[in-house]
Structures are given as C-alpha cells and as structure tokens.
Amino acid sequence: MNKKLGKILAVDDNEDILFSLKLLLKNQVEIIHTEHNPRKIPELMQKENYDVILLDMNFTKDCISGQEGFNWLEKILDIDPSAVVIFITAYGDVEKAVKAIKLGAVDFVLKPWQNAKLLATLSSALKLRGSLKEADNLRMKQKELSATMDQPFHDFIGNSQEMQKVIGTIMKVASTDASVLILGENGTGKELVARALHRNSHRTNEVFLNVDLGAISETLFESELFGHVKGAFTDAKRDKPGRFEIASEGTIFLDEIGNLSLSLQSKLLQVLEKREVIRVGSNKHINVDVRLICATNMPIYKMAKINEFRQDLLYRINTVEIHLPALRERIEDIKPLAEHFLKMNLIKYKKNIKGISSVALRKMEQYNWPGNVRELQHSVERAVILSETNILQPADFMLTKPGGQNIENNFGSYNIGEVEKDVIQRVLRKNNGNISAAAKELGLTRASLYRRLGKYDL
C-alpha cells in the first residue's frame, strides 16, 4: 500500500483492537481515526470524508449475531451511498460474510488478522473507493456538461403555434421510455429536442450520448456502437465498450439515422429488439437498457416506400414522432430568437450593443433562412463581432435571397446552398426523377442525395 494514502475510520468496542489498528496504520495512511462508540459514526462522517470504514459487527457484550453491524452499515450507506465498508469480527462465518456483502459491505476480515492480509484488503478497498469517486465525478461532469450545453436553450425560444405544439409533445413524452423520432431540416434544433427529452426524463442523472451516424464509416459501425474485444481486428489493442454499453441506463441519441445502409439497419434493429449487444470478436451477450431517440433530415417515409429504409426499423424508432418546423414557417419567432442570441454574444464578446433596429428585424423576417435557427445564431454572432454601431443595422446581416442575391444590395453574391439546390433540381429533371441516375451524375450516393432532397424540401 502506498504510504499516506487514504483516510480510514475504525469503529470497534474493543480499545485494544483500535490501538492495534492505529499502530499498524498510522504510517501507512493519511488519517486513521478510531472510535469505540458506533453512535458517533454520523457525526464523524459529517466532519470527514473517509475512504474506508472498518466496522465491528458486534458492540453489545455476548452478542454474536452481527445484526448491530448490519444496522450501522445501513446507516452509513444512507449518509454516503458510495462508502466503502469492511466488516471486522471474531465470529466470522460464510453466512455472515455473504449477508454483509449483499447489504453493501465490500469485504470481511476475521480477528485476529494477519497484518499483510489486512493491508492488502485495505489497499484494494482504497482503489475501489478511488474508482467510485471517479465514477461519481464523471457522472457529475456529465450532468454539468449537459446543463452547460443546454443552457443557451434552457427554455425553447418562441411563442409560435408550431413551437408550442413541439414543446407540448416533449412534455408529454419525456417522462416515458418511448422511442422518439425527430424530423426536421438541418439547423432546426433536433439535438436540442433530444436533450430536452432526456433532461425531463427519469434518466436525467444518467448519460446522454450523442452519436452522429453520418460520421461513422460502415466498417467501424459495429465496433463503435456495439464494442469489440482485444484482438478482434488488427487495431483492437484492448477491450472497448460500444456506445450502447456506455449509454446503458441513460439515453442514446442516434442522429442522421437516415444515412444507415440496409445492412447496418438490420444490425441496429436486432440490438433494439433484443436489447442486448455482442462485442465484435465475442460471443457474449451484454444486456443494455437505453432510451432511444433518433433524428434525420431525410425523407425517411419516402425511403421506406422504395425499400431504402427498413419499415420494421422505422416502426421501432418512431413510437412518437416530433416534427420540427423550419424557421421560415415560424416567422414570429425570429425576433425573440435574434434578441436571445444577441444577449448571449454581448456577454461572450463584451460588446456594448443596445439592440437590433426594426429595419434589420424586418430584413431578417423576409429572409428564407435555409440554415434555420443555426444560421440565425451565426448571423447574429457575426453581426455582433463586426458591427461598429450600438444598434445592429441591416448592413450588419449578410443575408442572401433565392438566386444568390444579397437582400440589401443585389451585388450578385452566391449562396452555396441555393446553387446546390438548383443543380440538384436540374439533374433530377434531366433524369426524369430517377434517383439512382441523378445521384450517379452528381457523384453522390443515393443516401447523400436523399439527405439533400430532405434538406432542400425537394
């Protein structure tokens, strides 16, 4: 055991036992506190965060049942659920040991002990305590990170009827474990909805894991989502849990699910139906318990009709469906959203800007916003950075109308999204709507072309 490692509390009614423990451990651990009266345990635990508690099983004369120790174990775990408790007793037997472990103790030491064995037991217990603390810290960091990432959208911005409908659905569905499919164009806030569902569920203190399926290659899909064992393939240097294992007990958000090939859809469906994964290179079945939320901007129902997306998988992922409206469909929300982003960026960039002019707001309301809320956020941020006035004016917002012309000055600048949309439309017309032929001519996969069709609402 490392010298001066850990804080130990020893509780025993025998003063000789306590003296022996103190003598043995004083040069081995950071702190060794001893106490003969178990009633002082709560007070001691309030004053110090102990790594290991050595607890006698019997405090009343002639009592050998161990029940006193079990009762105090329960109280200790009520105070600190991650407490590491080792029972010590002169009347140990297998039955008591099994019961102690079942009730939450981590080990069992018999009196009289062998010093080397006691030190080894304490060393293992201290490592366990370290692991438990690390896990607690990771959970806390995840919770704080989720809260931080959610903060700009802690409440949905906008009073439009469309958004109120979305919010109403979220509040109805969040508390259940129903699978949710979120549909909408890029930039409408699909991840925001997924996080809101998680934050308002009974899994809120567990992990929320975002998986961008569009960024995972077909060859790595199984390894990334289901895990692998050491030696499963050339670069498998160690066992690695997959995303489903990591997210177990929490929520997994599968973004861009429309990008999956049919073969990968089949593998995903099998996991969802059996609620278990098998790591690559292993035959062992691992149970997983996740809340499933999926999202796509692709025309997934059209894809299902032409066998580009499995109908049975579609049924599995859309117990409840949430459709996010495009920003152009809720014009009345542009002003509150813009003002919200303005406040955020004034703090971020320490600028002294009073607001957005009515003319600029009118310009924004006339714009089509192909990039939706995300584009609005970036436009406001850019305006805050570049503006030299205390009121944002139309010229501060570089917005283009269909055809690539700037709304303000008709300089003839081009909007890449509009150009891409126009090219896709022309190629589709040329090929009489044949998706395969159009995709080949554009140098795209069918899935990529479908994604763009959804993006541009074609």
In sequence order, the 6+-apart residues with CB closer than 8 A to the CB of 152 are 340, 344
Structural domains of the chain in order of their starting residue, each with its CATH number: 7-135 (3.40.50.2300), 173-324 (3.40.50.300), 328-396 (1.10.8.60), 417-455 (1.10.10)
- Tell which residue, 392, 330, 355, 356, has the closest CA to residue 160: 330
Does the pLDDT at position 147 exceed 60?
no
* pLDDT in the model for residue 453: 84
The mean per-residue pLDDT over the stretch 20-44 comes to 90
Q: Does residue 363 or residue 131 have the better pLDDT?
A: 363
Does the pLDDT at position 402 exceed 80?
no
How much of the chain, in percent, has pLDDT values that exceed 70?
87
The mean per-residue pLDDT over the stretch 80-96 comes to 77
Q: Does residue 205 or residue 403 have the better pLDDT?
A: 205
* pLDDT in the model for residue 405: 45
pLDDT grade for 412, boundaries at 50, 70 and 90? very low
Does the pLDDT at position 209 exceed 80?
yes
pLDDT tens for residues 102-117?
Answer: 888 888 887 888 888 8
CA atoms lying within 13 Å on the CB side of residue 29? 25
The mean per-residue pLDDT over the stretch 198-223 comes to 92
Flag the least confident range among 143-147, 175-179, 198-202.
143-147
Q: What is the DSSP letter of 241?
A: E
* pLDDT in the model for residue 153: 41
C-alpha span between 445 and 109 (Å, rounded)? 65
Flag the least confident range among 66-70, 230-234, 268-272.
66-70
The mean per-residue pLDDT over the stretch 429-446 comes to 80
The mean per-residue pLDDT over the stretch 160-179 comes to 94
pLDDT tens for residues 416-431?
Answer: 667 778 778 878 877 7
Flag the least confident range among 102-106, 121-125, 261-265.
102-106
Single pTM value for the model: 0.59
* pLDDT in the model for residue 400: 63
Does the pLDDT at position 2 exceed 70?
no
Does the pLDDT at position 137 exceed 70?
no
Q: Does residue 219 or residue 1 have the better pLDDT?
A: 219
The mean per-residue pLDDT over the stretch 119-145 comes to 76
Mean residue pLDDT of the chain comes to 85
The mean per-residue pLDDT over the stretch 17-39 comes to 90
The mean per-residue pLDDT over the stretch 425-448 comes to 80
Q: Are 398 and 379 in contact (CB under 8 A)?
A: yes
Question: Strand 7-11's sheet: what is its strand order?
Answer: 31-35, 7-11, 52-56, 85-89, 107-110
Residue 389 identity: T
Q: If you search the block for the tokens 């178990």, which residue do you land on?
A: 38
